[in-house]
Structure 1
Amino acid sequence: MPKDIKSFTENLDLDLTSLYDDQEENEIDESLVYPLCASLQNKLGYTEKEEIARGGEKKIFRTFDARSDRYIALARPLRDSKEHQERFLREARISASLEHPNIIPVYDIELDDASQPFFTMELLKDQTLKDLLTDFHSLENQTYDLPQLLDVFVKVCDAIAYAHSKNVLHLDVKPENINVGEFGQVLLIDWGLAKIVNNPKEEDLYLNESTLDMDLLNDMTQIGILKGSPGFMAPEQAVSQGEKSFKTDIYSLGALLYHILTGEIHVEGDCIEEYLKGTREGDLRDFKKPIAIGLKAVFYKACQLDPQQRYDSVDDLKQEIQAFLRGYATQAEEAGFLKQLKLIYQRNRIRCQLIFGFLLFSLVGTSLFIQALRESEAEAIMARKKAEKALSLYEKEKRGRESIIAEFDNSLQDFKENLGSSSKIEAHFSRLLVGSAIASSRKLDFEMALALTELAIKKNPEDYNAIAEKGFIHLIRHEFTKANDALQQCSTHSPHIYDLIRVARNYYILKPNDEQRLSNEQFLNFLEELPDNRAWLKSYMLIYDRKVNPSMTAHSDLVKGYIISLNPELTKENFNYKFTERPEGNHLDISHNPELTSLRNMGGKQFPYLSILRTLDLKTLNVSHTGLLRITNLSQLGLEEINIANTPVRNFHVLNDFKVKPKLKISRKHLELGCPEDLVISIAD
C-alpha cells in the first residue's frame, strides 16, 4: 500500500465524531428561540403579593401570575383553623362551579407549600354598585342614570337566576358585592354565605353530589345564628333556623331595588338591631320621594313578609324591570286602562301626536259639516234624528231586523227629499250603517250585521269599509266565495286584509259552494291558518258554529281542537276531554292534563267575554290535576262549580269579578293562598 494512502486511512474518523464536535460548538441557545416556554420553566407561580382588601372570612392580595403574565387576585382564609379553612374552600368550590358572565370567575384552588389553602380569581379594578349609588344620590359626579342602574340590577338578576338554576342561593346580595366595570361589566361576588339546595329530580345537575355535597357544604354555614347583611337580608334569614329558598334571594333583590331607588335601607330603623326587627316584622319604609308606581309595586311584591306572596322566580322579577325600562306597565302594579293608555302614548309619542292631529282635523271637519247642515235646512235635522232613532231602536232590540233596515232607508229618503241627492250625506249615512254592523257583530248578531253592511253598500257602493266588514261576516259564515269577492274589491284600499284574502282564496278553491260548511277538521285547519292578530275572527267563527250546528257534541269537538291549539304540549291522543250534556247544565271534564296551562280568552283582552268555553253552556267544570295557572277567563261563564284540586291556581281575588260565585273543590294549599273558605265544598290532600 502506498505511503500516502496508508496515512489517509489511519487518520480517517469512521464515526464522524469531529462533525458532532463542530455541531456542539455552534449550537443555538433555544431560550432565545422559544422564550415563552423558557419563561414557564424558570419563573415561580405567584409573586409580588400585596394585600388590597380584608373581610370577615378572608383577605385578598394583588399578585402577579408569572405563568399567565398578568395581575390577579389571590384569596386566603383570615384564620388558620381547619373549620375556617373548610368554609373558605367551600366558597371557592361554589364560585368555581358557577360559570356565568355576571359571576366572578375563579381560576385555581390550591394549597401552598405550608399546606395553607388559597384560590385565585379575576382582579377587580373598578368600583362597586355602592360607589355608583353614593354618587347617584348625592347628585355629584353622576356617571350612571336610573335606567343604567336598573340595567345593572337586571344583570344581577341574571346571575342569581343562573345560580338558582344550579340550585345555589347567594344569600348576601348587596351593593358592596356587585362590581361594575368601566365598560358596563357587572360581576356578583362574595359567595361565602351561599347555600346549596339539591334537587333529586334533576338528572343533569351541574352541581352534582360528586363535586358539591349539600349536607357537608351547607353545615359549614351554621357558624353563629344569623347569616346575611342587615338591611338586605330576608325575614327568614333574620330568625334562627329560618328556611332559606330561592325566594330569599328574591327578597334581597327587592331590598337592593329599594336602595337603588332611594339610597336608603328598605326597613324602618337606625341601627342593626332595628333593621333586624323591621325585617322580621315586615315594617317596610315608605318612599319619601316620587318613584314610578310600577317600580314601587315591584319592590312591595318582592319584599312580601310571606315568601309565597313574592315573585315565583328571579326571571319574573327581572321581566318586570325590563318591562318598565321598555315603557310598559309592570304586572305588580295592575295598571288600569288610563295608565296603559298613558304608557302607550309615551312609547309612541310621535305616532300618537299624528293620530291625535288627524282625529282633531276630522272632528273639526265633521263639526263644520254638521253646522252647515243645521244652517242650510232645518228639515235635515229631523231626518238625522230619525236615523239616530232607528239606531237607538236597534240597540235596544225593540224592533225586528226588517223594520230597522226600513227605518234606515226611510231616513235616507228624507235626507234626499229635504236636501236633494248628496254623495256626502250618503257616505255619512253609510258610515253609520257600518258602525252599526260592527256593533251587531260584537253582539254576535251576524245576520243583522250582514244586512246592515249590504244596505250600506247599496247606498254607497264605494264604501270599502262596508265591503271589508261584509267580507269578514262571510268568512264567519263559511261563505268563502262571497268573502273572497268582497275582500278582493277592497284590497287596494285596505292592504291590512291581504292575510285574510290569502286564506279566503285557499278555502274558496277548497269549497266553492257557499251553502256547504267545512268539516270539523277543515274548520280547525282554517283557524290555524288565520293570523294571530285575527283572534276575534276565530272566536266569532266558533260562536257562529254553535248557533248553526245542530250537534252539541260535534261543536264540543271544535272547542277541544281549539284548546289544543292554545296549549302546544297537548295532542289529540293525550288530551283527556269529556263533554257531557245535562238538562240542568252541561259538564266538562278536562282533568289530569298536566300540559294544560291556558284557557285564555279567544278574542284577547279586547273581548274578555269571549271565553274559549263560552259556547258549551257549562254549569260545572273539572280542571283538577292540570297546569292551569289562572281562572280569570272563567268569570263570565256562570259556572256553579269548579274543581281546581292539585292545580297551581293562586289568583283567587278574581272570584270577586265572577258573574256567579262558584262552589270550589280545592287542595289544602289553596287555603294558604287565599281561597275563600265559604266557597269551598271539598278539600283534597
Structure 2
Amino acid sequence: MSETKMTDPSSGPRFCPECGSRLEPDGSCSKCLLVIGLTTGTGTAAAESLSLAPEQIPGYRLEERVGQGGMGVVWRAHHLNLQRTVAIKVLAHSVRGIPGFAERFHREARTMAGLSHRNVVTIHDFGETDGLYWLVMEYVDGLNLRELMNEVVAPRRALKIVTQICEALDYAHEAGIVHRDIKPENVLVDAKGQVKLGDFGLAKLLDGSEDRTRLTGSRHVMGTPHYMAPEQVNAPLDVDHRADIFSLGVVFYELLTGELPMGNFAPPSQENDTDPRLDEVVLRALHHKPADRYQRASEVKDDITAVEQAPGGGSTGSADLQIRSDGDAGSARKAGADLEVRAPVG
C-alpha cells in the first residue's frame, strides 16, 4: 500500500489516511476502528499490532509482509497442503468492535469467494484464528497501479488496463456487487499485463453503516477521498454501481494525465498527448449526476475499444469518431467544468 501523510494534528480536523473519515478526538478512526499513528500515517500501528507467528494461521506459513494499512496487513504466504504461494489479508484487531462483524464477515467473505473472473482477485479461503479475521487470496506477482504510475504509462497501455477494470466491474455489477473503493492501490497488474481488481466487498465489510445508522443516526462514508463519487459523500446510503464508474473515471483521467481531476479540470487531451476522442469517455464517466454517467462499465469499454480500433486510435488523432451518448450530448463536456472533488465531512 502507498504511504500517506497526515496533516499537523494541531492544524484542525484530522482525517484517516486510509479511508478519509474524520478522526475522533483520541485519534481513532470510526471506520477502520484503529488508533492511527499520527506521526507516521502509514498504518504502522496496525502492522505492529499484527505481528504474527509464521504458522499462526492453520494450514499456511506466513513468509513476508507485503502490504499494510488501516484495514490490516497483507502477507505473502505458503499453502502447506497445496504447496502454492497465496496472499493473506489479516484484518486489524479492532474490527471485532464493529457491531455484528463476525456474522457479516462470513456472509461477505462467501460473497467475495463466489466471484470468479480473470480480472478479479480470487478469494480461496477465509476464517478466524485467535480473534484475527483473515482472507486467503491468489497471489499476484506484479505491481499495483499506483506503483506503475510512478512512471509514465503509455496511452495504449492505459487503455488496456482500463478496459480490463471495466470487465471486472461489469462482472461484479451483474452479480449485484458494488466495489465502493476503486483506486490505483486496488488494481494489480502482473508481469504479463493481466489486471486483477482486488478488495471487493472490504469497504462494505468494514463499514457496518446499517448498524451505525440505526444506532447513532449518523451518515457514514465509504471510499477514498478524490476517487469517491459525489453521492458517496452526499448520500452514502443510496450509492449504487454507478459510483464505481465515477471512480473508474478518476483512475482513467489520472492514468492519462498523471493528475487527479480536481476543481475545474481540463480534458485529458489538453493535459497530455492523448487522443482527444477519449475526452468524451472520461468526462462522461466523471459526471456529477449518476443518471448522466455511463450506466454500465461495459459501455465504457465499448467506447474505448471504438477509439482503439479507429484510425490513429489510442494516440493523438482526429476527433471524428462518434462516442455513444444516451442523454444530453453536452453533458459529458460539461462534467469537467462542473466537477469538484471534495474530501468527506465526518
Q: In structure 1, what is the equivalent of residue 175 of structure 2?
A: 166
Counterpart Cα distance in 2 of 1:228 and 1:111: 25
Letter paired with 1:55: G
Following superposition of structure 1 onto structure 2, how do residues 217-616 of structure 1 map, counting pairs within 5 Å? 219=210, 225-241=220-236, 243-268=238-263, 283-286=264-267, 287-327=270-310, 339-340=319-320
What secondary structure does 2:67 align onto? strand
Contact 1:134 1:263 in 2 (8 A): no
Q: In structure 2, what is the equivalent of residue 184 of structure 1?
A: 193
Contact 1:169 1:249 in 2 (8 A): yes
Letter paired with 2:75: F
- Sort the Cα spacing of 1:652 and 1:61 in 2 relative to 1 into closer, same or farther, 3 A: closer
- Sort the Cα spacing of 1:328 and 1:310 in 2 relative to 1 into closer, same or farther, 3 A: farther
What secondary structure does 2:124 align onto? strand
What secondary structure does 1:118 align onto? strand
Quick one: higher RCO (CA 8 Å, sep 6+), 1 or 2?
A: 2
Q: In structure 2, what is the equivalent of residue 132 of structure 1?
A: 148
What secondary structure does 1:117 align onto? strand
RMSD between superposed Cα atoms in Å: 3.3
Counterpart Cα distance in 2 of 1:123 and 1:250: 26
Q: CA deviation at 1:64?
A: 1.9
- Sort the Cα spacing of 1:48 and 1:327 in 2 relative to 1 into closer, same or farther, 3 A: same
Contact 1:232 1:252 in 2 (8 A): yes
- Sort the Cα spacing of 1:310 and 1:165 in 2 relative to 1 into closer, same or farther, 3 A: same
Q: CA deviation at 1:312?
A: 2.2
Is there any run of 5+ residues in structure 2 with no aligned partner, and where?
Answer: 1-57, 331-346
Contact 1:178 1:187 in 2 (8 A): yes
Counterpart Cα distance in 2 of 1:652 and 1:325: 24
Contact 1:225 1:240 in 2 (8 A): no
Counterpart Cα distance in 2 of 1:97 and 1:246: 18
Contact 2:155 2:274 in 1 (8 A): no
Letter paired with 1:152: I
Contact 1:63 1:72 in 2 (8 A): yes
Q: CA deviation at 1:170?
A: 0.7
Counterpart Cα distance in 2 of 1:328 and 1:220: 53
What secondary structure does 1:231 align onto? coil
What secondary structure does 2:151 align onto? helix
Contact 1:267 1:285 in 2 (8 A): no
Counterpart Cα distance in 2 of 1:247 and 1:288: 26
What secondary structure does 2:149 align onto? helix
Is there any run of 5+ residues in structure 1 with no aligned partner, and where?
Answer: 1-43, 137-143, 197-215, 269-282, 344-629, 631-649, 655-685
Contact 2:77 2:88 in 1 (8 A): yes
CA deviation string 1:467-520 (max 9, x = no partner):
xxxxxxxxxxxxxxxxxxxxxxxxxxxxxxxxxxxxxxxxxxxxxxxxxxxxxx
Counterpart Cα distance in 1 of 2:73 and 2:327: 49
Q: In structure 2, what is the equivalent of residue 60 of structure 1?
A: 74
Q: CA deviation at 1:117?
A: 2.8
Contact 1:128 1:179 in 2 (8 A): yes
Contact 1:164 1:246 in 2 (8 A): yes
The number of residue pairs the alignment matches comes to 258
Q: In structure 1, what is the equivalent of residue 14 of structure 2?
A: none
Contact 1:259 1:265 in 2 (8 A): yes
TM-score by length of 1: 0.34
- Sort the Cα spacing of 1:50 and 1:220 in 2 relative to 1 into closer, same or farther, 3 A: farther
Q: CA deviation at 1:111?
A: 2.7
What secondary structure does 1:61 align onto? strand
CA deviation string 1:632-653 (max 9, x = no partner):
xxxxxxxxxxxxxxxxxx6577
TM-score by length of 2: 0.65
**1:82 aligned onto 2:82:** no
1:145 pairs, out of 126, 136, 154, with 154
Q: CA deviation at 1:329?
A: 9.9
Q: In structure 2, what is the equivalent of residue 111 of structure 1?
A: 128
What secondary structure does 1:110 align onto? strand
Q: In structure 1, what is the equivalent of residue 336 of structure 2?
A: none
Contact 2:183 2:227 in 1 (8 A): yes
CA deviation string 1:192-216 (max 9, x = no partner):
45559xxxxxxxxxxxxxxxxxxx9
Counterpart Cα distance in 2 of 1:218 and 1:161: 25
Q: CA deviation at 1:83?
A: 4.0
Q: CA deviation at 1:63?
A: 2.0
Q: CA deviation at 1:115?
A: 5.2
Letter paired with 1:106: I
**Larger radius of gyration, structure 1 or 2?**
1
